[in-house]
Each structure stands twice: as structure tokens, then as C-alpha cells.
Structure 1
Amino acid sequence: MHTLNWIDWVVLIVTLLTIVGYGTWKTRGSKSVQDYVKGGNSTQWWTIGLSVMATQASAITFLSTTGQAFSDGMGFVQFYFGLPIAMVIICLVFIPLYHRLKVYTAYEFLENRFDLKTRTLTATLFLIQRGLAAGITIFAPAIILSIVLGWNIVTLNIIIGVLVIIYTVSGGTKAVTVTQKQQMFVIFAGMLAALFIILSLIPKDVTFTDALNIAGASNRMEILDFSFDLENRYTVWTGLIGGTFLMLSYFGTDQSQVQRYLSGKNKKEMQMGLIFNGLLKVPMQFFILLVGVMVFVFYQFNPAPLNFIDASTQKVLASEYAEEYKSLQQKQNELFQQKKTLSIQLAKNNTTETKYKLQKLDSIEKIHRLHSKFLIKKAIDTSYANTYLKLNNELKNITTNTQAYKNKQEELATFYKDAAKDTQTNDRDYMFITFILSYLPKGLIGLLLAVILSAAMSSTASEVNALATITAIDLYGRNYKGEKDENHMVKMTKFFTLGWGIVAIIIACFANLAENLIQLVNIIGSIFYGNVLGIFLLAFFFKFIKANAVFTAAIITQIIVIIGWWFNWMPYLWLNLFGCVLVMILAIIIQVLNKNEQQN
């Protein structure tokens, strides 16, 4: 558990309060729906680009992406390869339509093309998945900061949520956009400072090129994977195909993003803002991953804990598995000394033999980490310990049947792997924050914590703002029959903003960490986005498809996609393509059958 110096507290509090105060003051007094929802259509292209990036770059991006690179290397950048392609398509197809129709939300267009029930269905799908995501963007930094710093998680959830609610309710879309611009400057400054500090902490005779070679020797610099292996989540093809469909769905149909560029001065400003995002986003993600890789290199010269969650380590050290864990830590220390020697050798003389030895030691270290996670799991959950003992005893009792022994080994290995996925042992998301608190100088720690919380606030603000807009415009505005003048709609949108902010806080308080955080958010999106994108593509390009066919196809598709995700039919990125194609095929079939019935 770490404590903050007063300098870090000052930097953290002043940074956050300045952002919230500036956003509230700058955008106070919205009089019309046009001002509150679309920011008065006054946003310039570069502000749009930064706002779009800030909406996507949540705290998860900095905590989880760096951890992803630390564990698995740079390959995750392939996930973003489809983004520039998606930006071009949206600029050519989506934006001209939205601008011509002067819509407040993406789903308004669907009512014009189909009917109210199709608009309501897609809006509801958005509310479900984005409502969950809003809670996770609060929960992600809160759970990590609570464990590392010892802060109360519920209090953290409430603090982040309330700060967001203050300026989002006050100024609407313009407040979100204005504050995101400041937040992105804080984020860029903080991450650049972190990289320079990391490089300064690596031994002076190890150059940046040497650091890249050391990372490459441990397979952390393998960026491109051209394989067609469906078991591999991140390849060039999943990025270019699955990633393009995900990004088309996210930036083209998700109101949290659509609302960012609909606030632009004109069509050209909107398009330039998205192109700016398309050009800058992949390098930005590459840079964040590189920071994670450099932290990995740093730990080749400095001892790393077996597990980055100190609270989990303390639990296992207080259990009956303490001696086994200490023995494992001793092996890890010996392994570190060997890796340090080899890393220095590699920096001085880059040879294939040294690379091979480093790769071998890196594999052993991964086994040690997996073993440590399992010991922690046993210390926390005795039911797992009992199951393990049972499986292990059964394994020992098999002496003659070779196939049975092999089967039992595989069963134990599967159990072992599943056990390591537990909430309290999944430590890659804690790596970067632990490094920050342990090694960065005073003041910079506060700035990096401000980066994490600013990113959480920027994403949550966009999501709450979009959720409120969809609820007010697409559901309340279209289904409430009473009087709805400008003043009334602004008040209701503010009320829904407050309501969704409270919902996001509640979801955060009851959330639970499942996968690596960056993957968890993308999995939630992939379950819904493909279906919604397919509906929009049908609206754009298949003029003979009518409302009933689309509505029926969308419901069937969503059920099938959820089943496919539950039973793990394919890597989650492919769910975007699967859902998109499925809803289009089903809608065409249903429309043709309906037409035949009418003719008969």
C-alpha cells in the first residue's frame, strides 16, 4: 500500500478542480437544445479530433494497455489498424447524411428511414451497452487506486462520478468537449514525462536502441501477425477486418462519439476532426504500448514483484502457502539476476544466443507469475484449494494408464489457468500504477494520477452526455405526448444527465473485474456494435428493405450474437463482422419472404 506526498496531492487536486471548474464556468447557461446537445455547432476540427480521442482514451487505456504491453508486447496495436479506414468511410458516408438531415442523434436517421420502433430498438441497445461501459470507466481506475493506495472504492466511484456530473449537467456537450481538450493536454504531458523518466531510470550505458533490442529478445516488439489463427485475438486481419467494423460501429453509430463531431461548425470541420483522429490515434496507442514495453525493460534491471497487487501478496504471505510463495519469490530473484546479466550482455553484444537465453528465462518467469497467481487464489478461496488437491491426488494415483494420466494433466492445467484469472490475481492492470507510485519523483506521481482520473472523467462524461441525449431525444422526446418546448427539453436532458451519472456510479459500485480491462470494454461493445452497424448499412444502401424486416432481423441477430459470445464461437473482434453480416442477411431474407407472401 502506498501513500502520497503532499506535493502529489496538490498537483492532483489542483489539476482536477481546474478542469472541472473551467468546464463549468466556460459553458454555463445553455438556453436551447441546440446549445446543450450540439454545443451550438461551434466546435473547430482540432477540438473535435481531441474530443473524439479523449472519449475513447479512458483510464483503462493507460492502466490496461500498458499492462497488456508489459505482459504480451506491442501486438495489441493491430487492434487499431481498422480505425483510419473507418474514419474515411464515416467521412464519406455517415457525416454527409447526418449533416444534411440536421439530426441530434444517430438514431433519428433510422426513424426517417424506417420507423419509430427501429429507432427505439437501436437506441435501447446503445443505452444497454454504453450504460455498462460508463460504469466500467469509473470502476476501472477506482478499483486499482483503491487496492494500490488503500482508498475506499465506493468513495472513489462517487468522487469520479460526482466530478463528471457537475460539469456535464451544467454545460452539456460543450462542457464535455471543452474539458476533454484540457484533459488530453494533461494526458499527453503526463505520458511523455513518464516515458522520459522510465528511460532515465534504465542504466546509462543502455541506449534506447539497446532497450528495444532487449524488449525484442523477449518477444515484446512483435507488432505484426499475419496468421489466420482464429485463436489469436490480435492479428493484422482481426485489426483490418474486425477492427474496421468495430470502429465503424463505434464512431459511426455510437452517440458518445457521434455527438462529439455533430457539434462541429460545418461538415468540413466534422470530417477534418475525424481524419485528425484517424491519423493520430494509431501512433498514440503505439506510444502508450511502448511505455508499457519500456517499463518491462526497466524491470530487467530492477527487481519486480511476483504480483503487482500488494494486498494479494499480503494475503498469501499470511496463509499456509506463505513458505511456498517465499520460495517462489526466491526463484524469481535468482531468475532476475540471470536476466539482468543477459540484458547487459545483449546491450553490449546483440547475439542470437543471448536472445534465445533471454526468451527462455522470460518463459520461466511467466510460469513463476502464473504459479504465484495460483497460490494467491488458493489463499483467497479455499474451494479452489480443495479442488486442486483433489485433482492432484487423482493425478498421483494414476500410474499405469498413460492416456488417463495425460487427460488428468490437461484437466489440472485447465483448472490452473482458470484459477489465475481471478479478480484478485489478475495483476497486469496494476503494473503501471504500481511502477508510478514506486519509482516516479514527487509531483509527477500526482500528475500521472491526474492523467488516469482525467481519462476516466473524459470517457464517463462523453458516455453520460450521450446516454442522456439518447434518452431525452430518442425515447422521451418521441414517446412523451405532453408539451415539450426548448426550456422543458433542456431541463429534461439535464435531469437525464444527472440520472445516468448516478446509474454509472451504481454500476461501478457493483461491478467486478473479469478480463483485462481494455479487452472487457471492447468485448461489451463487440456484442452490440455489429448488429447496430448492420442496421445502419441496410438503411444507407438497401432501399428495398422495410422497417419490419429490419426490426425482426435485429432482435434475432442480437440473441444469436449473445449466444455466440457466451459459448465462445470466435474471438470477440469477429463478433462485429458476424453481427453486421447476420442482421443484413436476415433482413434481406425476411423482406423477400414478406414480399412473396404479399404477392401470393
Structure 2
Amino acid sequence: MHIIDFIVFLLFTIGIVVFGCTFFRRGSSADEFTSAGKSLPGWVVGMSIFATYVSSISYIGYPGKAYASNWNAFVFSLSIPIASWIAARYFVPFYRKSGSVSAYSFLEEKFGPWARLYASACYLFTQIARMGSILYLLAVPMYILMGWNLHVVIIATTVAIVIYSMLGGLRAVIWADAIQGFILIGGALLCLLILIFSLPEGPMQIIDIATHSPEGNKLSLGSFGASLTESTFWVCLIYGIFTNLQNYGIDQNYVQRYHAAKSDSDARFSALFGGYLFIPVSALFFIIGTSLYAFYESGTGYLPDDIAAKPDYVFPYFIVDSLPLGLRGLLIASIFAAGMSTVSTSVTSAATIILTDYFRPLLPHWRRRKGNTSTASGPELVVLRIASVVVGVLGALVALAMLQVESIIDAWWTLSSIFSGGMLGLFFLACTRHIGRRAAFIGCLSGILVIGWISLAGPLNLPGPHLHPYLSIVLGTCVIFIVGFVITLLCSKS
């Protein structure tokens, strides 16, 4: 790696960490740490929501997916307008009025502590899996660029992100997200322009090569068939609708941002802005992936066999091998921007859940045992910062386990579908009148069994229908809601 590229990358990374740490004094209370004092403008919160979407999973995984197969995964993005509109219309006002920064306090009020603990546990597992996926993808370009040990890069990156997340709280995370959002868009656009105009015949050559690929049409959105065992257009679309409804409706990352906005109108704008911006940017990454295929298939560039065997490595390799001096450092920095923004969000939101859903219920007993009659702000800040470190360590461990994964998109989408646990169905039950606690519990248990079956039937070759793992969140949500609703109806008639 040339010294100029290294300086560009290093200045960016150190600058983000220092910038986040400058908010240390502003993060001196639990409320400031978890909701940024409810004072941020809508566009900043919206950029943060967008940057949370565009992780290194998007930055590296989407081009890798488009290079290796087609645009099927882009169907996920097409479902976002539905979820973001529902969020702006219903979810944002609901959470702004609730008064609780936790997304799951509402479930406890309706069904009891078990519902809140179940949902929050599912959320924590999901975020740790997400952090692991992203930290792994952050390490890949550094391994290709400089030959650094993947384990060392994962650990060092985790430490840097945890430091500014722990010290600055949500305000530091959101402002850093907004800055990183602009950097990652600019870096991706520059890379695409260079890639397109490197081809001898220009942009039209990409379309010609992609549509006549031996593997099939690289611009295809997937099969429109009725199969439930493959990632068809419909499976991906339904998965996207349910996942994005869950993101906007019950994901702590988003709920905290609704609270951070300075007004209800700013919060609604942030939900729409962040979601809609993701659609063209995700399309940009798929165009990059298809262009990479044309670039190497046309013979314009040379791709080693060991890199071609791992699609997630192709884009970082192009950056290192084909971009001019200085721009390589900027592109690697933009990949780090995408990943750091999402990991820092997961760290802060997971720490908030540990405080609000696990520590605060025990706080009165803890204070009585200690004979402490002072404010809880001190102990709560300690819990938030310790939780940030613990979550970061767990995320790094998952990242190390991800080193054997072939496609990070497939791995992450499968894990998120399973770990989500169908908690969206529980949320829908909570929004429905007259649903009893017992009915909700039985519905939740039924959903868990269905998710377990879908997850294990294929790998263990169990008898019966085998469904695509993406459908775990879909069927889990539906089973929880339908079983809980039916049991309530039957009990009311008896």
C-alpha cells in the first residue's frame, strides 16, 4: 500500500474516532447517551438511518452478490418504501408518545415482563450477528490491501468503534453516521465512474456482457416462480417487507433515532428520508457488481482464481489493483465509513437495551442493597459503557467465526431471519385489542417452534417440507399473530 493511500485512510479513521470522542461531555447523562437529548434535526437523523442501512454488508456484499449471480437481492430494497411510509405514519408517532426509549417497553405493558425480555433478547442476538458480519467485511479490504492479519484488523477496528460509541453516546454516533453517509456515497460514485469508463466500449458493454452471461442474465431480479425453497423474486420481496417492517417498527436502532429528533415532524421526515435514499444507493452497489463482472469478463482486468472464488473479495481487489493513487485510500475509508456507522449504532442501541430492559428493572433493588439514595445517572452511565464494551467483544468473536463464510449476504440474511424470532408478530399482537397474555405466550412459543423447524429441517435433512431460511421471519411472524389471535377468539367464545 502506498504511503499516500495509507495516510488518507488513517486520517479518516482517526478523525472519526476523535470526532466521536469530542461529544464526551455531551454524553454525561443516561438520557443524553441514549436519545441525544431529543434535539437533532431531521436530516441528520435521516442520514444516520440511511448509514445504518448501508453497512459494509451493502458496500462489499451487494457488489459481490451482483458479480456472482444477479440482482435478486436488490428486491429487498424495493420493499423499503412500504415500511418507511408505515413508519412515518404510525410507528414514529406511537414511539414518540410512549415516553420510553426502549422499543420493547410496550410489550411488557401489554403481555408482561416475559414479552419484553424475549423481544430484547432476540434483538441483542441479531445485533451481535450483524456486528460480526460487518466487522468481518471491514477486515477484508485491509487484508487484500496490505496483507494484514484478519484477526488483528477485526480486533483493532472493534476497539476504535467501541471507544467513540462508549464515550459520545447516540449524539456522537448519529453525527458520525451523517458524515460517513456522504463519504460512502461519494466514494461509491467515484468508483463506478472509473469502472464504467475503463471498459473499451463504455457503459453499453456492461449491459451486453451482463445480459449474455453463460450463468444467465446478470440483471435479472430472480425467478418469478412459486418455489419456496429458493431465493425467488417473491421470497426476497416478502422477506424484505417483513424485515423492513421489523426494522422500522420494533428495531431499537430506529426507535432511538425517532426519539433523538427534535420534533415529531423531524422524526417522520427522518424515517422517509433514510429509507428512500437507500434505494438508489443500493442500486449503485449492484451496478458496481455487474460492472465488475463486465470488467473482468471482457479481459479489461485480470482476476486471480482465489479472489474470483470469493465474490465478497472482488470489489476490494478492484479497488486495490485498479484505482489510482490516493483514491484507493479514499475508497477503503468509505468502506470503513459504511461499516463503522452501522457497528457503532449496534453498540449504542444494544447497550441501551441492556440498561432499559435488564438493569433498570433491578435498579431499585440494587440501590436498596447498597443504601444509595442518590440519582441513578452515575450507575446507569457505568452500565451503558460496560455494556458497550461487552457487546463489542461479542461482535468481534462472531466476526472471527465468520472467516469461513462464503457469502456474507446469505449468512447475514439467514441469521437475521432466525434470530429475529418473529418478534414482529408479537408486536402486531400487542397492537391488537383484547389479546390475552396466555394467548400471546402460546402464539410466541408456536412461532419459535416454526422458526426452529425451518432453520434445522434442511441442514439436518429432517422429513417434511424444506423452506428457504429467509422465510423464518415471515412464517414466524404470521404464526405468532394467527395463533395468538385465534386462541383469543376461542377463549372469548367459551
TM norm. shorter chain > 0.5: yes
Kindly provide the amino acid, as one letter, of the partner of residue 477 in structure 2.
C
Q: In 2 relative to 1, CA 48–513 (structure 1 residues): closer, same or farther, beyond 3 Å?
A: farther
User: 1:193 and 1:153 mapped to 2: Cα distance?
Assistant: 27
Aligned to 1:527: 418
- Compute the displacement of 1:595 (Å): 5.2
Output aligned runs, 1:449-468, within 5 Å. 449-468=332-351
- Compute the displacement of 1:515 (Å): 4.4
Output aligned runs, 1:37-116, within 5 Å. 37-116=34-113
- Counterpart pick for 2:470 among 573, 579, 588: 573
Alignment size in residue pairs:
475
Is residue 212 of structure 1 aligned with residue 103 of structure 2? no
Output aligned runs, 1:79-478, within 5 Å. 79-143=76-140, 145-146=142-143, 149-203=146-200, 206-218=201-213, 219-223=217-221, 225-235=223-233, 237-299=234-296, 300-305=298-303, 307-309=305-307, 426-478=309-361
User: 1:448 and 1:474 mapped to 2: Cα distance?
Assistant: 39
CA contact (8 A) 2:197 2:203 kept: no
* SS of equivalent residue, structure 1 residue 13: helix
- Compute the displacement of 1:27 (Å): 5.0
User: 1:250 and 1:49 mapped to 2: Cα distance?
Assistant: 14
Aligned to 2:379: 488
Give deviations 1:5-61, integer Å, cap 9, x for gaps.
101100000011111111211453323222110011112221122111111211121
- Counterpart pick for 2:437 among 547, 552, 567: 547
CA contact (8 A) 2:421 2:451 kept: no
Q: TM-score, normalised by structure 1?
A: 0.75
Structure number, greater radius of gyration: 1
CA contact (8 A) 1:80 1:239 kept: no
Q: In 2 relative to 1, CA 163–291 (structure 1 residues): closer, same or farther, beyond 3 Å?
A: same
Identity over aligned pairs, percent: 27
- Compute the displacement of 1:441 (Å): 0.8
- Compute the displacement of 1:231 (Å): 3.9
Ranges in structure 2 where 5+ consecutive residues have no aligned partner:
368-374, 459-465
Is residue 564 of structure 1 aligned with residue 454 of structure 2? yes
User: 1:458 and 1:55 mapped to 2: Cα distance?
Assistant: 6
CA contact (8 A) 2:117 2:357 kept: yes
User: 1:303 and 1:143 mapped to 2: Cα distance?
Assistant: 20
Q: TM-score, normalised by structure 2?
A: 0.91
Greater mean alpha carbon deviation, residues 23-32 or residues 100-109: 23-32
- Compute the displacement of 1:280 (Å): 1.5
Greater mean alpha carbon deviation, residues 71-80 or residues 283-292: 71-80
- Counterpart pick for 2:482 among 585, 590, 594: 585
* SS of equivalent residue, structure 1 residue 106: coil
User: 1:51 and 1:595 mapped to 2: Cα distance?
Assistant: 45
User: 2:321 and 2:355 mapped to 1: Cα distance?
Assistant: 46
- Compute the displacement of 1:466 (Å): 1.0
User: 1:47 and 1:238 mapped to 2: Cα distance?
Assistant: 33
What root-mean-square deviation, in Å, do the aligned CA atoms of Structure 1 and Structure 2 show? 2.1
CA contact (8 A) 1:81 1:239 kept: no
User: 2:57 and 2:145 mapped to 1: Cα distance?
Assistant: 16
User: 1:122 and 1:64 mapped to 2: Cα distance?
Assistant: 28
- Counterpart pick for 1:505 among 370, 374, 396: 396
CA contact (8 A) 1:10 1:446 kept: yes
- Compute the displacement of 1:159 (Å): 1.1
* SS of equivalent residue, structure 2 residue 334: helix
Aligned to 1:29: 26
User: 1:284 and 1:530 mapped to 2: Cα distance?
Assistant: 29
Give deviations 1:185-239, integer Å, cap 9, x for gaps.
1101111110111123212xx132343233223212224753333344141x334
User: 1:563 and 1:178 mapped to 2: Cα distance?
Assistant: 42
